[in-house]
A and B are shown apart, each in its own frame.
Chain A
Amino acid sequence: TQLLEQSPQFLSIQEGENLTVYCNSSSVFSSLQWYRQEPGEGPVLLVTVVTGGEVKKLKRLTFQFGDARKDSSLHITAAQPGDTGLYLCAGANGGNTPLVFGKGTRLSVIA
């Protein structure tokens, strides 16, 4: 069974601070997706990384896929209260298997 471990589990920071959350596995994934989920809502896709070493930027969010395609990180610069939510990473392994999710990092950005 492929497992994704996310850390930290909880993170509470002040507005304007930078942060990094991690998604690690002992398994190789063909791609990795990051989602943000707000209470009572479904996860919303932020980005998909496919190539080992790939870096993608989405405004203040920077996503990186590890060279070996076993891990990923999400870095947020100058966090804002609107960034508050549950950040989930999900791994895919080819086209015939469903996504495997980590437990998520719950981020709280305090104004």
Chain B
Amino acid sequence: DTGVSQNPRHKITKRGQNVTFRCDPISEHNRLYWYRQTLGQGPEFLTYFQNEAQLEKSRLLSDRFSAERPKGSFSTLEIQRTEQGDSAMYLCASSKTGVDTEAFFGQGTRLTVV
């Protein structure tokens, strides 16, 4: 396994368009996390899954954002009606279940809304 994989690496879209990102976690990891990172900031938590169940969503996640992990493997993050403020790096991480397990990140998807 080569680690957490995110696609696409870069996405430029016009304001108002919908975009979807994909994350493939490390195969034996049953937890998957989405974070957003803007310039000069640390990653901010958006949501996470244990297997196919979405266990927690941040207040940062507006109604325009939706995430799924239909079979407990890969996950998608969709942003509808994108706004310029959505421009950021979207990071996916995965981990095993358990206390103090380590999270491993993908390379991220850089979204630019013009």
Chain A residues at the B interface, C-beta cutoff of 8 Å: 6, 30-31, 33, 35, 40-45, 48, 50, 88, 90, 92, 94-104
Contacts and interface: CB of A to CB of B under 8 A. Distances in A.
A111 to B, nearest CB: 24
Interface string B65-103: 000000000000000000000000001010001111111
Q: List the 9 closest A-B pairs by CB distance, nearest first.
A: A101-B42, A42-B105, A31-B100, A95-B99, A103-B42, A42-B108, A98-B45, A42-B107, A101-B43
A53 to B, nearest CB: 16
A96 B49 CA distance: 10
- The range of chain B's interface size is 20 to 34
B99 A101 contact: no
A95 B105 contact: no
B110 interface: yes
Nearest to B105: A42
A30 B102 contact: no
Given A95-B98, A98-B48, A103-B41, 16 more contacts: A31-B100, A33-B102, A40-B110, A42-B91, A42-B93, A42-B106, A42-B108, A43-B105, A45-B103, A45-B104, A45-B105, A98-B45, A98-B56, A101-B43, A103-B42, A104-B42
A33 B98 contact: no
B9 to A, nearest CB: 8
A104 B56 CA distance: 24
Nearest to B108: A42
A35 B98 CA distance: 20
Nearest to B10: A40
Interface in B54-69: 55-56
Contacts of B101: 95
Interface string B4-18: 101000000000000
Nearest to A43: B105
Nearest to A31: B100
A35 B42 CA distance: 11
A32 B107 CA distance: 21
A96 B97 CA distance: 8
Contacts of B35: 101
